[in-house]
Chain A
Amino acid sequence: MALLELYHYWVFAVLLMIGFYAVIAKLNLIKKLIGLSLFQAAVFLLYITMGKVEGGTAPIFVDGAIDQLYSNPLPQVLILTAIVVGISTLALGLSIVVRIQEEYDTIEEHEIQEIDRQ
């Protein structure tokens, strides 16, 4: 059971590295961006996991509840804003990819490098 308590963190580690693999090994730029958002999602999961308190509930006060445990609100605030910032930066990345496609007619990294060398 002690090992099962760390399952969330293991999933974090695996997801983080799946995303990282896509960023370093894939040649397609859109695939790299998808990998980057997987990487980002893993970090979100880590923060939210750490904020969880056993037997707690969402940090919204309930009238009349005495001695109610609440989960940690702080990581939730950080991740809430990070998600929206993440989508904005993703859009910025995608718009750069679209411009690259228009200039080079490809979004495969090795083909772009080949054109650059010519």
Chain B
Amino acid sequence: MPVPKREEMYDGVVIYEYEDFVVQEPSYIVVGLPDTGLVGAISVTHMISELGAIEVGGIDLLAMIPPITLIRKGEPIPPIRLFLKDNVLFVLSEAPVPINYVYKLSKAIMEYSVKRRFKLLISLTGIASPSRYRDEKPRAYWAASGKEALEKALSLGIESFDEGILIGPYAVILKEASKYRLNTIVLLSESFMDIPDPEAAATALKVFSELTGLRIDTTKLLEEAELIRLRMRELMKQTTRTMSQMGKELEVRHPIIYT
């Protein structure tokens, strides 16, 4: 890990910046954490590779149990990495977020977003859908908080996540964003729950492209879908265990109560 130029501590979560960088306008922070179908992690990994984003920082979770250090090319790296390309800062996690860090990490990302004055915080994730096995093209939905975010989401031409339950870091971000006066959009793509789903990631990326105006080519992602699924098998297994601890199977997209 390079020597950080700046570091900020948020309740046991440290955000490092390896160099001075400026995020161009309109600035977006895009979060891809391992979750349902690894949609967020696959989407963000693909964008980093397609756009040639460069690593500018990382996020460490202090006192993580079990104590884990990720090592790449012989050097320790933080479990969550920050990549920059022009006006987009990508947050990519290499491991599932431990349940005791879901709140802390979500709040740290929001505080950092406010401090860095990001225009919009975008989260990409999957929503488990039984219809995925029928080979239907996955549909995408949005959920948003903040006036500007809502206006942008409404212009996307996709359905809103009308009623249901979200569980995990994105749920915290969506719920708490208004307290931080932060504009945030969660893009949800129908996916398998515990099988990596690059096709669902491609759907999320299509909506992301419309939202930000960034052109993301998903041809390679779809061509290499089977290899990606093979490569991400172990991360999916770890993520499934974490999701199970969170009660993620309760996440649904349908009315909760009758009124």
Q: Do A and B belong to a common assembly?
A: no
Residues of A near any B CB (own CB < 8 A): none
